[in-house]
């Protein structure tokens, strides 16, 4: 599950309150306390403090099911179910760092995960670094996150509908898709009358950059 951040109001015995909740993978963070997912029932998710299994804490939380672009409503949190220990600020900061790196990797797919980490890790305090996994494990985690955001590979041309815009240009924003026989601009009136399956079976896509093509023409003319 992708990370979800929300600030929501929920009813409690003391009235309406505002709670900042963040969900990363299978963990819930509220006020720097961390909870692990326990079970789901009646459109609600039940969470246990990360120290419940070690019998160091008995705090629990209840929220709505975390969904992208939707607020997380906290029905029960630290105010209703107090913890027996202070919050783990360093661990919470480490999770926030990983979440930030994954967002940057999604926003800048041209940058390798290792390069992002090399740029960001020197700014992380030592206490937070101690809560992070080793760098190779972090790189693998970011790569998995990036792959989840990619569309599935088409198994045939008929399964390939509209090509996403980001695959039509290079990392330098130069046009990369020079020709697509399936696009409206490339289809004539006669081709538009053909059955869809026939058109897909004969679809042609040409990928290249015009600057590279000019270099090739210049080289051939001097040969």
Question: Are the C-beta atoms of 76 and 28 separated by less than 8 Å?
Answer: no
Q: What confidence tens digit (pLDDT) does each residue in 109-160 have?
A: 778 888 888 888 898 888 888 888 788 888 888 887 777 666 677 777 666 7
pTM of this prediction? 0.47
DSSP state at residue 167:
G
Quick one: pLDDT band at residue 9, thresholds 50, 70, 90?
Answer: very low
Is pLDDT above 50 for 14?
no
Nearest to 138 by CA among 100, 185, 87: 100
- DSSP bridge pairs for 207: 177
d(C-alpha 9, C-alpha 5), whole Å:
13
> In terms of Cα–Cα distance, which of 181, 172, 185, 183 is closest to 211?
172
Name, in order, each residue with C-beta under 8 angstroms of 97's C-beta and a sequence gap of 6 or more.
120, 124, 128, 132
State pLDDT tens for residues 39-75: 999 989 999 998 888 888 999 999 998 876 677 889 9
Confidence at 92, pLDDT banded by 50, 70, 90: confident
Which residues fall within 8 angstroms of residue 71, CB to CB, at 6 or more apart?
A: 6, 7, 8, 64
| CA separation for the pair 61, 220 (Å, rounded) | 69
Q: How confident is the model at residue 19 (pLDDT cuts 50, 70, 90)?
A: low
What is the pLDDT at residue 13? 39
> Which range is most confident: 62-66, 100-104, 106-110, 176-180?
62-66
**pLDDT value, residue 141:** 81
């Amino acid at each position: 599950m992708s990370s979800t951040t929300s600030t929501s109001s929920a009813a409690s015995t003391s009235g309406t309150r505002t709670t900042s909740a963040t969900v990363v993978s299978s963990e819930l963070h509220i006020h720097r306390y961390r909870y692990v997912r326990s079970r789901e029932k009646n459109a609600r998710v039940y969470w246990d403090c990360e120290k419940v299994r070690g019998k160091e804490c008995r705090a629990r939380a209840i929220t709505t099911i975390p969904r992208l672009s939707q607020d997380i409503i906290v029905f029960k949190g630290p105010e209703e179910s107090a913890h027996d220990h202070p919050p783990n600020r360093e661990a919470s900061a480490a999770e926030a760092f990983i979440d930030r790196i994954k967002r940057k990797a999604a926003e800048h797919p041209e940058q390798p995960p290792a390069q992002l980490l090399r740029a960001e890790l020197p700014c992380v305090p030592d206490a937070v670094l101690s809560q992070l996994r080793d760098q190779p494990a972090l790189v693998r985690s970011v790569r998995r996150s990036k792959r989840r955001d990619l569309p599935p590979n088409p198994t045939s041309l008929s399964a390939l509908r509209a090509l996403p815009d980001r695959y039509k240009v290079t990392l330098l924003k130069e046009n990369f898709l020079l020709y697509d026989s399936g696009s409206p601009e490339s289809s004539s009136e006669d081709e538009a009358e053909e059955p869809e399956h026939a058109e897909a079976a004969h679809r042609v896509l040409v990928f290249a950059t015009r600057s590279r093509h000019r270099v090739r023409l210049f080289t051939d003319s001097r040969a």
